[in-house]
Amino acid sequence: MAQFDLPLDQLREYRPQIAEPADFDAFWAETLAETRAHDLDVVFEPVATGLTGVHTWDVTFAGFGGHPVKGWFTAPADAVGPLPLVVQYQGYNSGRSLPHTWGLWPLAGCAHFIMDTRGQGGGGNVGDTPDPVGSGPSHAGFMTRGIEEPGTYYYRRVFADAVRAVEAARAHPLADPARTVVLGGSQGGGIALAAGGLVPDLSGVAVDVPFLCHFERSVVLTDSRPYGEISAYLSVHRGKEERVLRTLSYVDGVTFAARGRAPALFSVGLMDTVCPPSTVFAAYNAYTGDKSIEVYPFNGHEGGGVFQQAAQLRWVADLFGQPEQMPRPAGGTP
């Protein structure tokens, strides 16, 4: 795939008008109040993984509706805490996987929490968290579940879970709540943007090739899944465009970005047909905190891959002033 979106110089200046609901902040304040009406009920159960350098806990906490949400909490085996905390969200249809897969951030001297995404984990990493909420008619996947009303939309529940995941991870005695970063790629990047707009005291937000941004453009610029699920739904449910776009406006990463205050590191692939570059830059350019973006001109939705992980390691080290724990690898990113 060649570059197909706006030229890079135009992307850097791309600031579209996003249809922000007048009650956006009230909607999310009410959602979180409803979620917090349930006790967090976080439980950390030690698990044996066969890894001697990392300790792992199987985590359960109450997310939206009090529904149990799973996760893994990992930390260096010799840690005494408190440690910088990295809360991570997963890509589309991926779950928390198995505990031995999450070694990067503990090896960098951090505590790490990976949130399972409710209902997902059937097409990527295995998941363990059901979504007990029913849905009206929807296209295969998660993008159109409850899409005709903001209150019933699937990502309302996921974003509320994401906020509670931060609260749950911070409850572990090895975690330092004052040094908390959220991160994720693709869907995980969109969830991280939402958390960045909803949790006021984060230390940083790392957003790779983010999904769930600038829906009005995304659903007409690309037919790749998952955005293609929305256009497929509208191709059958003719005349519901306005209603669907209204719902999506409550979960748009661009609107959450405008509320982000913590330092942020973004990435974008200029050949990305899943999350088109203009939709990523729409969120990046709207972000109000200190920010930087890694641009990968010849990459698609894989973005920077391990190069971006190296960039994140350097960024977190600089953020917390811990270069001795997270040394700079040779080479650097493009």
Largest alpha-carbon pair distance within the chain? 59
Determine the straight-line distance between the first and last CA of the chain, rounded to whole angstroms.
20
With beta carbons less than 8 A apart as the criterion, state whether 169 and 113 touch. yes
187's tokens: 């869907």
**Of 316, 104, 74, which Cα lies nearest the Cα of 205?**
316
Is 128 an active-site residue?
no
Is 218 an active-site residue?
no
Question: How many degrees, rounded to 5, is the angle at CA 59 between CA 57 and CA 63?
Answer: 165
35's tokens: 């979620």
Q: Any idea of the CA torsion for 319, 15, 11, 210, to the nearest 10 degrees?
A: 50
- Which residue in the list 116, 161, 272, 278 is annotated as catalytic? 272
As beta bridge partners, residue 86 has 112, 181
- Which residue in the list 94, 97, 186, 278 is annotated as catalytic? 186
Is 272 an active-site residue?
yes
With beta carbons less than 8 A apart as the criterion, state whether 113 and 165 touch. yes
State the catalytic residues. 186, 272, 301
